């Protein structure tokens, strides 16, 4: 009988499933490396150390999985396709920044730690009052308000 | 009969607005387990942090799932439970679809396991592993990950069918893994009868159908269910005068199938797809069908067969083991890859009308297995899982205490406390230098009888290691081999003092040795930049445990611990030469025992004050469970210190009152640390909400120059040590970073400290450490790296 580390067992199970997928004429939806990262992730935060080593395509997939809690969707995959040839850090900065500035991320708010390069240098203040920090529904309501009500709402929120 | 404490995470059930499939099973079982007197159930639901649960109030849960009133969460302030709070003698039972839960089991189960909690997982099927092509990519990934956790950590698995157990064994064979013990408990099926008039009957549909002249397939349309086979059989069935009705929701990835039906030439005449049918329609469809067809590729149980039988309808099912197990002789079977095989089965039903009616009559007498029976079996399995522990003989009496010391004074000051508070201890073996013995004999005349084993006898010519921690382990190993020890004894130090009467039950409870831990070795940071012998010993122990895939809690709790000498020697055999590697003796012993003999050990949070010596020495990973002992430090009794004004010597008259006061003061200090930690969490959350990142410091390279990136404002709680992550570009990892904090008048509050990221111990993330004074102030944090500097405003708050 064998003994496995958690990661080794996860990877072996992945390989078994991959064989079955192949036999059914299909491919696994993510690479073994991304699956391994996902299996070892903590539920309350993502450390850059877990994903920083991944190749660009895997990094993109893992960032979506861990920071947004879902796989990369097809439209997003197509959008990112041309960026995958960027140098590693450039792509990683772009991916992390895009994800973390998205309205979707404001809902999951899974923190990223240990990132060795700045993502929001000089932008932190803006982020605090940007509409992306507000729930989308509130923003929509705000946009439909008459101008005088928008002013009142801003005043109430201490933004004016 | 003692109650088995069972904890169940029902996060998915509580989130689901409808109850079908797994959530239906979970609901039926949980409602019955709540009535089971031998089971004490705690129901849990995930919190947004996904690292803790709220406890579901049982009354609210029952009311919601029986009367559809209120909410399963109740209305009051929820009680919060973390994985570390689940008692070590409890069973953690997953019956909900745990693979969908954000609290991944690969993260949760090791935490439960390293403390000895029994894990029982309900395995509905292994189809996402064996036939992953049928599943949504997210479900498949999550399921593979969950399967990893179950195979690695579950103490017992409950399956609904022998076929699922066989699949589990096959998978384990392929992985060359020993399968976890497995109990097969078939599901119940006596669901509360839905009123026949629930919803509107689809009369238009029934006008086109003739009783017993159509095949019915009920359930969500999804690839695995193999609706395609029945669709391919529509024309030959029509030629036999048999129509086909699909009833159910359209599932994932089946839009193509819906189009295929809508374009089918027989659609509306011999083929019908009823999406979201009412209960009345489903019941009428069942009762009037020639048979229910179930061409599924694979199933975990096959409840549709049971439902068909409950409605008196014959079943044509795929010839797969799990359906044979559920359908038995009452169902007919066909090859699920062959339309001809299905047609042959239909022909057999049509060929002999008399036999067909006899079959219907036999099915009408069918009585499904009840949920009560399934829940009773489940309760028995949980009791069995919960009772694998507690194998230390109940009548074991521990009477010996053992201490290794060279300090007579300290031991003589501690002995009166032990004498008064630990009546079960009758003897103490003192391992000490020969020269100490006479003085000890002369000075001590208490109840506890002293015996001695000299250092010379212990060493027998062996050379002592120089490192303090290595020496400790080395000596204790010699002691286990050579000293006249009982098989089970209490190991202590010369300065561990009881704060109240302590019984043997503190060390041996419910047939399990109580192992007291104080930290997670994987979280131990040590004195960064200047590691002590203790720190290095902890890092070595962490690495040893990790290498052997064992739990890695820190048992250097600075309080008495119970030791089974035979198991200690077994541990030494398992790690040849470990006594000279500088690992921690208690960390190695207890983590080994929890891994190898979980039925004999329970890991509990430590029960002592004075560890750490000062509460602001380092952040506690867990708070003590109670305060039964004091790790005595003279310095804590000095003016201005926590025990100032109290006696440091035993006095029978004042002992009780002083002990109570010591506990009160220590608890107040612990409260301060908790409050400081809560403050930091709030601050970190505020920063995270605005920037998506936690407060941390970066040193990066830009245009060949190192550049700091720091938070604009740093909140630090007064009177606590706060550690902040520091990440550095590999190019500057060897550079020394110096940092200090001054107040707004220029007074240095935190003296200059240094950090060299590359010099940090392996496995420990680099951090800046801020020990803050117990008063508030505003100031500046200055960081320098060569000629590069950065400043950050500091607000030290109470």
Q: How far apart are CA B351 and CA B326, in angstroms?
A: 25
- What size, in residues, is chain B? 798
Instruction: Provide the pLDDT confidence category of residue A139 given band limits of 50, 70 and 90.
Output: low
CB B144 within 8 A of CB A14: yes
Lowest mean pLDDT among B168-182, B517-531, B582-596, B634-648: B517-531
Number of helices (H), then strands (E), belonging to chain B: the values are: 25, 36
Q: How far apart are CA B144 and CA A14, in angstroms?
A: 7
| Nearest CB to A13; choose among B103, B129, B688 | B129
- B147: pLDDT strictly greater than 70: yes
Please name which of B531, B561, B534, B554 lies closest in space to residue B631, comparing C-alpha atoms. Answer: B561
Q: What is the pLDDT of residue B417?
A: 98
Instruction: Provide the pLDDT confidence category of residue B688 given band limits of 50, 70 and 90.
Output: low
Q: What is the pLDDT of residue A152?
A: 57
pLDDT digits (tens, 9 = 90+) for B307-363: 899 999 999 999 999 999 999 999 999 999 999 999 999 999 999 999 999 999 999
Q: What is the pLDDT of residue B691?
A: 60
Q: What is the pLDDT of residue A131?
A: 36
Q: What is the pLDDT of residue A27?
A: 92
User: Average model confidence (pLDDT) for chain B?
Assistant: 90
Across the range B745-771, mean pLDDT stands at 87
Higher pLDDT pick, B703 / B58? B58
Rounded to a whole number of angstroms, the distance from the CA of B73 to the nearest CA of chain A is 22
Q: How far apart are CA B144 and CA B474, in angstroms?
A: 44
Share of chain A above pLDDT 70, in %: 74
Q: How far apart are CA B789 and CA B698, in angstroms?
A: 12
Q: What is the pLDDT of residue B245?
A: 95
Rounded to a whole number of angstroms, the distance from the CA of B387 to the nearest CA of chain A is 26
Share of chain B above pLDDT 90, in %: 60
3-state secondary structure of B655: helix
B83 CA to centre of own chain: 5
User: CA of A64: which chain B residue's CA is closest?
Assistant: B138
C-alpha separations of B496 from B321, B403, B411, B413, B662 in Å: 62, 10, 9, 10, 14
- B305: pLDDT strictly greater than 50: yes
User: CA of A36: which chain B residue's CA is closest?
Assistant: B145
| Cβ atoms within 10 Å, residue B645 | 9
- B465: pLDDT strictly greater than 90: no
Q: What is the pLDDT of residue A123?
A: 45
Lowest mean pLDDT among A122-131, B97-106, B434-443: A122-131
Across the range B378-397, mean pLDDT stands at 84
CB A123 within 8 A of CB A93: no
Please name which of B23, B2, B22 lies closest in space to residue B14, comparing C-alpha atoms. Answer: B23
Higher pLDDT pick, B654 / B682? B654
Residues of chain A neighbouring B757 (CB-CB closer than 8 A): none
User: Average model confidence (pLDDT) for chain A?
Assistant: 79
Q: Do B691 and A39 touch (CB under 8 A)?
A: no
C-alpha separations of A35 from A30, B145, B146, B679 in Å: 7, 8, 12, 35
Please name which of B165, B203, B197 lies closest in space to residue B184, comparing C-alpha atoms. Answer: B165
Q: Do A117 and B104 touch (CB under 8 A)?
A: no
ipTM, 2 dp:
0.79
Instruction: Provide the pLDDT confidence category of residue A120 given band limits of 50, 70 and 90.
Output: low
Joined tokens for residue B1: 């009969």
Lowest mean pLDDT among B135-139, B243-247, B511-515, B669-673: B669-673
Across the range B659-685, mean pLDDT stands at 85
| Nearest CB to B130; choose among A20, A41, A45 | A20
Helix axes B137-153, A32-39, angle to 10 degrees: 60
Residue with tokens 């003016």: B639
Share of chain B above pLDDT 70, in %: 96
Put simply, whether A27 touches B (Cβ < 8 Å) is no
Q: How far apart are CA B668 and CA B663, in angstroms?
A: 8
Instruction: Provide the pLDDT confidence category of residue B723 given band limits of 50, 70 and 90.
Output: confident
Across the range A130-157, mean pLDDT stands at 52
- B580: pLDDT strictly greater than 90: no
- Contact residues, A window 59-98, toward B, CB-based 8 Å cutoff: 65, 69-71
Rounded to a whole number of angstroms, the distance from the CA of A128 to the nearest CA of chain B is 5
Q: What is the pLDDT of residue A130?
A: 36
Q: Do B729 and A45 touch (CB under 8 A)?
A: no
Residue B204: what are its φ and ψ, rounded to 5°? -60, -40
Across the range B716-733, mean pLDDT stands at 83
Q: What is the pLDDT of residue B611?
A: 86
Instruction: Provide the pLDDT confidence category of residue A125 given band limits of 50, 70 and 90.
Output: very low
Across the range B231-238, mean pLDDT stands at 95
Residue with tokens 């240990």: A114
Highest mean pLDDT among A45-49, B11-15, B171-175, B637-641: B171-175
CB B282 within 8 A of CB B249: no
Residues of chain A neighbouring B698 (CB-CB closer than 8 A): 115-118
Q: Do B549 and A5 touch (CB under 8 A)?
A: yes
Q: In the A/B pair of chains, how many CB contacts fall below 8 A? A: 142
User: CA of B546: which chain A residue's CA is closest?
Assistant: A5
In the sheet with B601-605, reading across from the earlier edge strand, the strands are: B508-509, B512-517, B601-605
| Cβ atoms within 10 Å, residue B192 | 8
Q: How far apart are CA B153 and CA B148, in angstroms?
A: 8
Please name which of B433, B423, B454, B134 lies closest in space to residue B300, comparing C-alpha atoms. Answer: B134
B75: left (phi over 0), alpha (psi -120 to 50) or beta: alpha
Q: How far apart are CA B61 and CA B14, in angstroms?
A: 9
pLDDT digits (tens, 9 = 90+) for B22-49: 888 999 999 999 999 999 999 999 988 8
Q: Would you give the DSSP letter of residue B615?
A: T
Q: Do A115 and B50 touch (CB under 8 A)?
A: no
Residues of chain A neighbouring B102 (CB-CB closer than 8 A): 43, 69
| Cβ atoms within 10 Å, residue B229 | 22
Lowest mean pLDDT among A36-50, B384-398, B688-702: B688-702
Helix axes B162-175, B137-153, angle to 10 degrees: 80
Q: Give residue limits of the domains in chain A.
A: 6-119, 124-160
- What size, in residues, is chain A? 160
- A155: pLDDT strictly greater than 70: no
Specify burial of residue B134 (Cβ count, 10 A radius: 0-12, 13-18, 19+). Answer: buried
Q: Would you give the DSSP letter of residue B731?
A: G
C-alpha separations of B135 from B119, B258, B371, B475 in Å: 27, 18, 29, 58
Q: What is the pLDDT of residue B628?
A: 97
Of the residues B148, B545, B550, B723, the best mutation for testing chain A's interface (the one with the most A CB atoms within 10 Å of its CB) is B148
Q: Which domains are seen in chain B, by residue range?
A: 4-184 (3.40.50), 203-366 (3.40.50.2000), 400-662 (3.90.550), 695-797 (2.60.40.10)
3-state secondary structure of B384: helix
Q: What is the pLDDT of residue A137?
A: 46
pTM score of the predicted model = 0.76
């Amino acid at each position: 009988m064998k003994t496995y580390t958690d990661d080794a067992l996860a990877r072996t199970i992945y390989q078994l499933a991959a064989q079955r997928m192949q036999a059914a004429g299909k491919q696994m939806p993510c690479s073994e490396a991304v699956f391994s990262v996902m299996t070892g992730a903590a539920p309350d935060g993502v450390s850059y150390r877990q994903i920083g080593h991944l190749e660009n395509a895997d990094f993109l997939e893992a960032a979506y999985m861990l920071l947004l809690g879902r796989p990369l969707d097809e439209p997003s995959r197509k959008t990112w396709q041309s960026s995958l040839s960027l140098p590693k850090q450039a792509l990683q900065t772009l991916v992390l920044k895009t994800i973390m500035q998205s309205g979707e991320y404001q809902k999951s708010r899974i923190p990223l730690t240990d990132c060795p390069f700045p993502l929001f240098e000089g932008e932190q203040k803006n982020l605090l009052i940007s509409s992306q920090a507000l729930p989308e529904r509130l923003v929509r309501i705000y946009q439909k308000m008459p101008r005088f009500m928008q002013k009142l709402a801003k005043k109430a929120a201490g933004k004016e | 009969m003692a109650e088995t404490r069972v904890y169940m995470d029902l996060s998915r059930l509580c989130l689901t607005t409808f109850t079908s499939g797994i959530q239906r099973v979970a609901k039926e079982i949980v409602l019955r387990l709540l009535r089971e007197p031998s089971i004490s159930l705690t129901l849990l639901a995930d919190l947004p942090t996904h690292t803790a649960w709220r406890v579901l109030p049982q009354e609210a849960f029952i009311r919601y799932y029986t009367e559809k009133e209120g909410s399963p969460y109740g209305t009051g302030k929820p009680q919060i439970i973390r994985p570390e709070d689940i008692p070590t003698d409890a069973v953690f039972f997953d019956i909900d679809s745990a693979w969908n839960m954000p609290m991944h089991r690969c993260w949760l189960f090791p935490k439960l396991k390293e403390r000895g909690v029994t894990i029982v997982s309900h395995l509905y099927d292994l189809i996402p592993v064996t036939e992953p092509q049928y599943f949504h990519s997210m479900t498949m990934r999550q399921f593979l990950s969950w399967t990893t956790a179950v195979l690695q950590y579950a103490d017992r698995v409950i399956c609904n069918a022998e076929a699922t157990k066989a699949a589990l064994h096959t998978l384990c064979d392929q992985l060359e893994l020993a399968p976890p013990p497995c109990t097969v408990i078939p599901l119940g099926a006596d669901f509360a009868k839905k009123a026949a008039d629930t919803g509107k009957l689809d009369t238009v549909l029934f006008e086109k159908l003739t009783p017993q002249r159509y095949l019915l397939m009920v359930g969500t349309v999804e690839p695995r269910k193999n609706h395609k086979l029945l669709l391919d059989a529509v024309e030959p069935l029509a030629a036999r005068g048999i129509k086909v009705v699909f009833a159910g929701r359209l599932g994932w990835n089946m839009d193509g199938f819906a189009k295929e039906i809508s374009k089918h030439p027989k659609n509306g005449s011999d083929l019908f797809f009823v999406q979201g049918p009412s209960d009345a329609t489903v019941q009428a469809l069942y009762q009037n069908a020639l048979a229910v067809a179930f061409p599924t590729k694979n199933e975990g149980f096959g409840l549709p067969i049971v439902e068909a039988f409950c409605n008196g309808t014959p079943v044509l099912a795929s010839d797969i083991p799990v359906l044979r197990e559920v359908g038995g002789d009452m169902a007919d079977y066909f090859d699920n890859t062959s339309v001809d095989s299905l047609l042959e089965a239909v022909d057999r039903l049509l060929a002999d009308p008399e036999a067909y009616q006899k079959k219907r009559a036999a099915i009408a007498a069918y009585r499904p297995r009840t949920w009560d029976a399934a829940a009773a079996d489940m309760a028995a399995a949980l009791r069995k899982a919960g009772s694998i522990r507690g194998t230390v003989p109940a009548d074991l009496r521990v009477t010996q205490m053992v201490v290794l010391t060279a300090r007579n004074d300290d031991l003589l000051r501690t002995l009166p406390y032990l004498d008064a508070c630990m009546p079960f201890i009758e003897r103490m073996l003192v391992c000490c230098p020969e020269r100490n013995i006479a003085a000890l004999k002369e000075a001590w005349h208490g109840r506890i009888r002293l015996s001695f084993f000299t250092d010379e006898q212990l060493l027998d010519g062996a050379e002592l290691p120089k490192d303090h921690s290595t020496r400790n382990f080395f000596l204790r190993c010699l002691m286990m081999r050579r000293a006249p020890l009982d098989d089970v004894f209490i190991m202590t130090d010369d300065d561990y003092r009881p704060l109240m009467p302590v019984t043997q039950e503190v060390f041996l409870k419910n047939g399990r040795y109580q192992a007291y831990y104080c930290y997670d070795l994987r979280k131990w940071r040590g004195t960064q930049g200047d590691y002590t012998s203790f720190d290095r010993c902890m890092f070595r122990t962490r690495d040893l445990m990790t290498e052997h895939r064992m739990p890695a809690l820190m048992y250097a709790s600075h309080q008495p611990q119970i030791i089974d000498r035979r198991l200690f020697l077994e541990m030494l055999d398992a790690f040849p030469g470990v006594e000279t590697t500088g690992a921690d003796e208690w960390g190695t012993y207890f983590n080994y025992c929890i891994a190898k003999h979980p039925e004999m050990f329970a890991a509990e949070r430590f029960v002592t004050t004075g560890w750490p010596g000062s509460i602001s020495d380092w952040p506690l990973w867990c708070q003590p469970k109670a305060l039964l002992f004091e790790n005595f430090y003279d310095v804590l009794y000095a003016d201005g210190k926590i025990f100032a004004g109290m006696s440091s010597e035993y006095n029978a008259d004042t002992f009780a009152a002083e002990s109570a006061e010591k506990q009160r003061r220590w608890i107040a200090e612990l409260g301060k640390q908790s409050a400081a930690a809560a403050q930091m969490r709030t601050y970190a959350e505020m920063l995270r909400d605005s920037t998506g990142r936690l407060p941390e410091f970066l040193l990066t390279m830009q245009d060949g120059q190192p550049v700091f990136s720091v938070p604009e404002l740093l909140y630090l709680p007064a009177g606590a040590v706060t550690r902040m992550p520091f990440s550095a570009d590999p190019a500057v990892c060897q550079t020394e970073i110096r940092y200090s904090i001054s107040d707004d008048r220029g007074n240095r509050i935190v003296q200059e400290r240094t950090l060299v990221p590359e010099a940090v111990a392996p496995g420990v993330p680099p951090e800046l450490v801020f020990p803050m004074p117990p008063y508030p102030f505003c100031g500046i944090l200055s960081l320098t790296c060569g000629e590069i500097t950065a400043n950050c405003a500091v607000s030290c708050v109470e």
